[in-house]
Amino acid sequence: MNEVLDPPDYHTRFVKEVKCRWCPTWFATKKDTDRIPACESCQERRSEAEDEWNNAASWEDLLNLNQRYLRNEIFASSSYTMPPDRETMLITPGLLRLHDYGIITIESQPELDYTEQSPWLGGGWHRWVQKPWMMFLIPTEHDLVEKEKVRLLANKLLEDGKLTVSVWSECDTYRHPKKNKGYDETNVAPRRTPLGNDEPLRDAMFHFRTTTVRIHNDDKKDDQANCNVVTRYKHEDSRSDLTDSPWINKTSLPYRNIDALNEPGTSLGCDGKAGDALKNMRPLAFCVAAKEWDAGLDLQKIVEDACIEVGMKPAFARAE
Backbone angles phi, psi at 276, to 5 degrees: -65, -35
Going residue by residue from 38 to 77, which x/- string records binding to Zn ion, judged by CB under 5 A?
-x--x-----------------------------------
Judged by beta carbon, residue 45 or residue 97, the one nearer Zn ion is: 45
CA neighbor of 138 nearest in space, from 123, 154, 125: 154
Cα–Cα distance, 193 to 188 (Å, whole number) = 14
The residues with which 138 forms a beta bridge, in sequence order, are 284
* Smallest distance from Zn ion to CB 22, Å: 5
Cα–Cα distance, 151 to 206 (Å, whole number) = 10
Judged by beta carbon, residue 27 or residue 183, the one nearer Zn ion is: 27
Cα–Cα distance, 25 to 23 (Å, whole number) = 6
Cα–Cα distance, 279 to 283 (Å, whole number) = 7
* Smallest distance from Zn ion to CB 42, Å: 3
Cβ–Cβ < 8 Å for 232, 113: no
Give the total of residues touching Zn ion (CB under 5 A): 6
Q: Which of residues 5-44 bind Zn ion (CB under 5 A)?
A: 20, 22-23, 25, 39, 42
Cα–Cα distance, 292 to 105 (Å, whole number) = 22
* Smallest distance from Zn ion to CB 6, Å: 31
Cβ–Cβ < 8 Å for 113, 105: no
CA neighbor of 317 nearest in space, from 45, 103, 83: 103
* Smallest distance from Zn ion to CB 15, Å: 18
Q: Which of residues 212-241 bind Zn ion (CB under 5 A)?
A: none
* Smallest distance from Zn ion to CB 17, Å: 13
* Smallest distance from Zn ion to CB 36, Å: 11
Backbone angles phi, psi at 183, to 5 degrees: -60, -35
Per DSSP, the three-state class of 233 is strand
Judged by beta carbon, residue 42 or residue 138, the one nearer Zn ion is: 42
Judged by beta carbon, residue 50 or residue 298, the one nearer Zn ion is: 50
Q: What is the 3-state secondary structure (H, E, C) of 66-106?
A: HHHHHCCCCCCCCCCCCCCCHHHHHCHHHHHHHHCCCCEEE
* Number of continuous H segments (helices) and E segments (strands) in the chain: 9, 11
* Smallest distance from Zn ion to CB 278, Å: 29
Judged by beta carbon, residue 25 or residue 267, the one nearer Zn ion is: 25
Judged by beta carbon, residue 35 or residue 178, the one nearer Zn ion is: 35
Judged by beta carbon, residue 23 or residue 96, the one nearer Zn ion is: 23
Binding residues vs Zn ion (CB under 5 A): 20, 22-23, 25, 39, 42
